Amino acid sequence: MANIKPEILQKADAWLSDTFDEETKAEISRMKAENPQELEESFYKNAEFGTGGMRGIMGVGTNRINKYTLGKNTQGLSDYLKKSFPGEELKVAIAYDCRNNSQKLAQVVADVFSANGIKVFLFSELRPTPELSFAVKELGCHCGIVLTASHNPPEYNGYKVYWQDGGQLVPPQDKELVDLINNLEYEKINFEANSALIEKIDKKVDESFAEASVKNGSFDMEASARQNLKIVFTSLHGTSITQVPDVLQKAGFTDVHIVEEQKEPNGNFPTVKSPNPEEPAALKMALELADAKDADIVIGTDPDCDRLGVAVRDLDNKMILLNGNQTMLLMSWYLLEKWKKENRIQGKEFMASTIVSTPMLKNLVEDYGVEYKEVLTGFKWIAKLIKDHPELNFIGGGEESFGYMVGDFVRDKDAVTSTLLACEIAADLKSKGSSFYQQLLELYVKYGLYKEELISLVKKGIQGEKEIKQMLINLRENPWEMVDGEQVVLVEDYQSSVAKNVQNHTEHPIDIPKSNVLIYYTEAGTKIAARPSGTEPKIKFYISVNTDLAAVSEYEKTEKELSEKIQRIKSELSLG
């Protein structure tokens, strides 16, 4: 006991009351006796909402994902819904992914909603996160919940809240809800389910979502173009297996090879170290199958099917993994081309991305006479733009972290429709004697060659949280002045909402909600952003460098020069 801080012990002892079940109390007693550090990690704070909802390690405690922390969220959300929609018959939709305990936790959430007299539409089996976003609007719900921790390790789970428009909660609702939850006592949670208010949903929503995905993600082309594209797809043991193969088939793609070893949903993700399509190792089996089948394109999705990784053949016919910025550029270019061809660009359209994504997208979008908007990290901010600007038509948008949204029928990143769109692009270009990769290089010639790299430094637990906080304090108190021999000319601090021009010592406000993000720009256009992850124990640094590309034939040489530049920056700034 001597090693446990009094405030931690007080919080833990509160969980030994009759409000909590015997299994929970036994686990707390074990930690008190055997592992004080584990007890401290479990109780030193309350689990918080970040850029992708609430995520955390599953287990006992206020800083863990369990029936009580999620029950408290749901009780608070039930109270908030009644306050927000007085007198209305409240309806919510709930989905869950492949993770361990997701189905059980989804049932807990459904029980609490129903106990509060709220009608619940509960998917009876795992489904992609974008389908939940779609279902909220399709079923006329006031909000939706999905139980997922996206691409986090197997010990994690999470809780994402969606509002009436199908987008995640944003200010001011998110703060109002969090305040309400934080002030709620665990004793106030009503777990007594009213089964009459819980309705299982499946095929009807599945079919509507698939139809909408095909409508938004496919375009006019000869049927033979789709039939001639050879696709390898892996669901990485996740939810996309329930929708992606069917959507590809409905759109007319017939040569699809699924990685069988990763087809079965499994929360332990047995064939990968991390089920994250951002990491090359996750797509190793898919790339091997692609070589065996001589496939044109490889696509892998994360467990809840909102992110996708894409690999295509380069000019030497070798499979090469694209990063999120590259995939986003090609998807945006293709959508703009189609809108232009169909005379749909009328000066009332926009596309969007995030402040840490490639600056090249702005050049591309504005070249088509379309407005470009930039937001904080997280698709909830892009969804908010759509909601805030009903006078504008949203074409599409993405972010560097392998997410993309096609149109506004879903209000979150959507790897189902984006997978279809990627295959459409590859099929169309192949039928015209070009390729996904060739077109990317041509965009670089036209708009400049931009190269980005993300450095993620993992800092776990209480000590890691302190280190991340201190690193950002140091950056603010001792800002970089030179980067790779280039003068820093502008520093944007999204926490203070102030951008400082270092050269002429002027300042201007940043019209974006406050966030703990710093961005440095040099005189040569190098951009470096720093931010703590909103979903993982990491601090992230985003490096973007660019130069002109004279011709496609100059790509390898020029790209190598930019890679060397990034390595120098990483070394100079001690970023690993």
Say if residue 294's pLDDT is above 60. Answer: yes
pLDDT in tens, 416-429: 999 999 999 999 99
For residues 106 and 126, give the distance between their C-alpha atoms in angstroms, rounded to a whole number.
10
For residues 335 and 354, give the distance between their C-alpha atoms in angstroms, rounded to a whole number.
18
Domain 45-201 and domain 208-447 have a common topology: yes
For residues 352 and 407, give the distance between their C-alpha atoms in angstroms, rounded to a whole number.
11
Query: Which residues, 6 or more positions from 557, have their beta carbon under 8 angstroms from its beta carbon?
Result: none
For residues 37 and 411, give the distance between their C-alpha atoms in angstroms, rounded to a whole number.
40
Average of pLDDT values for 172-185?
91
Q: What's this model's pTM, rounded to 2 decimal places?
A: 0.96
* Residue 335 amino acid letter: L
Q: 449, 478, 452: which is closest to 355 by C-alpha? A: 452
* Residue-level pLDDT at 453: 96
Question: Alpha helix locations (H) across 202-341?
Answer: 203-217, 223-227, 244-251, 284-293, 324-341
Does residue 472 contact residue 539 with C-beta atoms inside 8 Å? yes
Instruction: Locate the domains of the chain by residue range.
Output: 1-44, 45-201, 208-447, 449-573
Does residue 523 contact residue 544 with C-beta atoms inside 8 Å? no
**pLDDT grade, residue 239 (50/70/90)?**
very high
**pLDDT grade, residue 51 (50/70/90)?**
low
pLDDT in tens, 442-479: 999 999 999 999 999 999 888 999 999 999 999 999 99
What are 251's two structure tokens?
A: 């759109």
Residue 572: CB atoms within 10 Å:
13
For residues 192 and 136, give the distance between their C-alpha atoms in angstroms, rounded to a whole number.
24
DSSP, res 252:
T
Judge residue 192's burial from the number of C-beta atoms within 10 Å of its C-beta, 0-12 exposed, 13-18 middle, 19 or more buried.
exposed
pLDDT in tens, 371-396: 999 999 999 999 999 999 999 999 99
Does residue 338 contact residue 218 with C-beta atoms inside 8 Å? no
* Residue-level pLDDT at 48: 84
Query: Which residues, 6 or more positions from 567, have their beta carbon under 8 angstroms from its beta carbon?
Result: none
Asked if residue 172 has a cis previous peptide bond (ω within 30° of 0), the answer is yes
What's the mean pLDDT when you consider all of the chain?
A: 96
Average of pLDDT values for 207-224?
97
Say if residue 299's pLDDT is above 70. Answer: yes
DSSP, res 168:
B
Q: 321, 278, 280: which is closest to 297 by C-alpha? A: 321
Query: 3-class SS at 453?
Result: strand
* Residue-level pLDDT at 97: 97
Query: Which residues, 6 or more positions from 469, have their beta carbon under 8 angstroms from its beta carbon?
Result: 532
Query: Which residues, 6 or more positions from 212, have their beta carbon under 8 angstroms from its beta carbon?
Result: 134, 409, 410
Q: What is the CA angle 461-464-465, rounded to 5? A: 85
Judge residue 219's burial from the number of C-beta atoms within 10 Å of its C-beta, 0-12 exposed, 13-18 middle, 19 or more buried.
middle
For residues 438 and 381, give the distance between their C-alpha atoms in angstroms, rounded to a whole number.
32
Classify domain 208-447 at the CATH superfamily level. Alpha-D-Glucose-1,6-Bisphosphate, subunit A, domain 3 (3.40.120.10)
For residues 70 and 49, give the distance between their C-alpha atoms in angstroms, rounded to a whole number.
12
For residues 256 and 218, give the distance between their C-alpha atoms in angstroms, rounded to a whole number.
16
pLDDT in tens, 109-145: 999 999 999 999 999 999 999 999 999 999 999 999 9
Catalytic residue among 42, 102, 114, 150: 150
Question: Alpha helix locations (H) across 85-220?
Answer: 102-115, 129-138, 173-182, 203-217
The residue with tokens 């061809």 is 341
Say if residue 2's pLDDT is above 90. Answer: no
DSSP 55-101: EEEBSSSTTSBSHHHHHHHHHHHHHHHHHHSTTS--EEEEEE-SSTT
Average of pLDDT values for 69-90?
97
- In CATH, the architecture of 45-201 is 3-Layer(aba) Sandwich (3.40)
Does residue 114 contact residue 198 with C-beta atoms inside 8 Å? yes
**pLDDT grade, residue 21 (50/70/90)?**
very high
150 as an active site residue: the answer is yes
Query: 3-class SS at 414?
Result: coil
What are 249's two structure tokens?
A: 């088939």
> CATH assignment of 449-573?
3.30.310
* Residue-level pLDDT at 3: 73
For residues 110 and 91, give the distance between their C-alpha atoms in angstroms, rounded to a whole number.
11
The residue with tokens 């209480």 is 462
Q: What is the CA angle 120-211-165, rounded to 5? A: 45
